[in-house]
Structure formats: structure tokens, C-alpha cells
């Protein structure tokens, strides 16, 4: 038996893992993960699994580095690729163009659209938006440095996704994944 409120939701914010440097701004959305980034993404997934934070829903920016981060996280959680591995959960994955270069309020709007039945949601996005969203959800629990690459911030939402608001989701854990 658990003492967790059945209305509580968990929002995990993840800044994408380390990417290769781009040659110009025009190809920023196509930058791939570095070798370290791939290892760190898998380590993030392993940490989520160890903490029992397997997502029901994943909202992921459409940038190449965030999609690759999700793939690594899924591998780290289950040991199987997200596109059809034989083990582990199969969350609903939404690739959202609006999560690229988004302001925190825009990211919050995406989170508010999560299926009400989902207990845990994972948002994979970019700085500064992802760090600013964490600060918006819990101004007291924020780190002034923001989220580093492959860093996770866990927020508890005392009510449903639609009701999520400023200062409405206390920060409960932070982890920088390194593979």
C-alpha cells in the first residue's frame, strides 16, 4: 500500500544530452548527440527506471538531439529500443515542433495537454526554456545555473495536468546523468 495521493502527477523535465557543435545556426535542429551525449542519455534512462519514474507520456522536441536523447533514455530504461523492444513500458511519445526554442509558458501549455490518466510525464527539450519551466513550477527549488545537458528535474504535481500552474509543482529531485 502506498501513501501517495492518487491525484498526484509527476513531471520529469530533461534537458537534451550533449550534442555535437553545429557549424551554423541554420543546422541547429539537426545537430546529433556526441558520444558522451549518447552515454548520458542511457544513464538518464537507467536513473529513471531505478527511481520508478517510467513515463506514461513523453513530449519531445523534434530536434535531432532531443529525439536521440529519447532513444537513449528508452534504451537505458528498458534495454530495448523504443520502437519495439520486447521489454519495459511503451509510453505514448509525442514529437512536438513547438518544444523547440520554446518559452516556458509554451512548454507548460504542452504539458497541460497530457492525457489525464497519465501519472508520469517526461518532457525533453532545450535551454533556456526547460530550465525556466522548472523555475516557473517551483521558484524556491530552482538552481540559478539552470539544467545542464542530460540533467533531470522531477516535479510533483498535486493535481491534474490541466491545473498545472506557476509555483504549482514542487521540485523533489534533480539528477545529472553521466554515462
Full pLDDT tens readout for the chain, 179 residues: 345 567 799 999 999 999 998 766 568 899 999 999 999 999 999 999 999 999 999 999 999 999 999 999 999 998 755 555 444 558 999 999 999 999 999 999 999 999 999 999 999 999 999 999 999 999 998 788 899 999 999 999 999 999 999 999 999 999 999 97
CA-to-CA separations, 165 to 62, 105, 109, 110, 174, in angstroms, rounded: 25, 9, 10, 12, 20
Domain of 73, CATH number, reads 3.40.50.1240
Total domains in the fold of the chain: 1
Return the closest-CA partner of residue 29 out of 42, 13, 40, 16.
Answer: 16
In a domain, 4, yes or no: no
Structural domain range at position 46: 9-21+29-176
In a domain, 2, yes or no: no
Beta-bridge partner residues of 92: 57
pLDDT in the model for residue 179: 77
CA terminus-to-terminus distance, the chain: 34
139's grid cell: 521558484
In a domain, 61, yes or no: yes
In a domain, 164, yes or no: yes
In a domain, 169, yes or no: yes
In a domain, 132, yes or no: yes
In a domain, 88, yes or no: yes
Q: Do 16 and 149 form a contact (C-beta atoms < 8 A)?
A: yes
In a domain, 166, yes or no: yes
134's grid cell: 522548472
Distance (Å, rounded) from C-alpha 114 to C-alpha 44? 22
Amino acid at each position: 500500500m502506498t501513501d501517495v495521493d492518487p491525484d498526484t502527477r509527476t513531471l520529469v523535465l530533461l534537458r537534451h544530452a550533449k550534442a555535437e557543435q553545429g557549424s551554423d545556426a541554420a543546422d541547429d535542429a539537426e545537430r546529433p548527440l556526441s558520444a558522451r551525449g549518447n552515454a548520458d542519455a542511457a544513464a538518464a534512462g537507467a536513473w529513471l527506471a531505478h527511481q520508478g519514474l517510467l513515463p506514461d507520456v513523453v513530449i519531445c522536441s523534434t530536434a535531432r538531439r532531443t529525439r536521440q536523447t529519447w532513444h537513449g533514455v528508452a534504451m537505458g530504461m528498458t534495454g530495448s529500443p523504443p520502437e519495439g523492444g520486447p521489454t519495459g513500458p511503451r509510453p505514448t511519445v509525442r514529437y512536438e515542433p513547438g518544444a523547440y526554442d520554446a518559452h516556458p509558458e509554451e512548454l507548460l501549455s504542452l504539458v497541460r495537454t497530457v492525457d489525464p490518466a497519465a501519472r508520469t510525464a517526461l518532457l525533453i527539450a532545450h535551454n533556456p526554456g526547460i530550465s525556466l519551466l522548472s523555475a516557473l513550477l517551483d521558484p524556491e527549488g530552482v538552481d540559478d545555473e539552470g539544467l545542464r545537458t542530460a540533467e533531470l528535474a522531477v516535479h510533483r504535481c498535486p493535481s491534474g495536468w490541466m491545473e498545472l500552474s506557476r509555483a504549482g509543482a514542487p521540485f523533489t529531485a534533480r539528477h545529472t546523468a553521466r554515462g
